[in-house]
Amino acid sequence: MVRPYTMTGGRTRPEPEFDLIALVVGDVDVTPELPVGPEQAALLRLCRANALSVAELAAETDLPVGVVRVLLGDLLDAEYIRVSRPVPPALLPDEHILQEVIDGLRAL
């Protein structure tokens, strides 16, 4: 159970600063010279072309969410990624968005 944290050097991030639906986009291409570990490289590749949520990154890499948060924290510190905070529903920029969601759900 503890092993995954060896790839984070035993660190955890006490506060969830990356919401599960925060969107992450990679700003650099993964090259052999890029000083990142294999897990971080995998995360970078996943969100390079398209922004992905933290939850999707965890599901795709099959890593626990806590581990992904630590790894993303490093990538953010290195400015290899950008992270957007989710918009609280009450502050949605456009009141028609929820109607779009309703229509989209009906059309599923």
Partner 1 sequence: MDSAPSEIPRLALKILVAGGFGVGKTTLVGAVSEIRPLRTEEQLTAAGRGVDDLGGVERKTTTTVAMDFGRITVRDGLAVYLFGTPGQDRFWFLWDELATGALGAVVLADTRRLTDCFPAVDFFERRDIPFVVAVNRFAGTRDFRPDEVSRALDLDAGTPVVRCDARQRASGKQVLVALVEHASTVHAARTPVDAVVGEAR
Binding site for partner 1 (CB under 8 A): 1-2, 4-5, 10-12, 14-16, 19-23, 25-27, 29, 48-49, 51, 53, 55-56, 58-59, 62-67, 82, 84, 86-92, 95, 97-102, 104-106, 108
Rg (CA), the chain: 16
Q: Shortest distance, CB of residue 14 to partner 1, whole angstroms? A: 5
Edge-first strand listing for the sheet containing 52-53: 52-53, 23-26, 81-84
By C-beta, is 41 or 51 nearer to partner 1? 51
Q: Shortest distance, CB of residue 27 to partner 1, whole angstroms? A: 6
What letter would DSSP give residue 25? Answer: E
Nearest CA to 14 among 83, 69, 76?
69
By C-beta, is 33 or 95 nearer to partner 1? 95
Q: Which residues contact 66 (CB under 8 A, 6 or more apart)?
A: 4, 5, 12, 13
Q: Shortest distance, CB of residue 58 to partner 1, whole angstroms? A: 6
By C-beta, is 1 or 38 nearer to partner 1? 1
Q: Which residues contact 65 (CB under 8 A, 6 or more apart)?
A: 20, 54, 55, 58
Q: Shortest distance, CB of residue 38 to partner 1, whole angstroms? A: 18
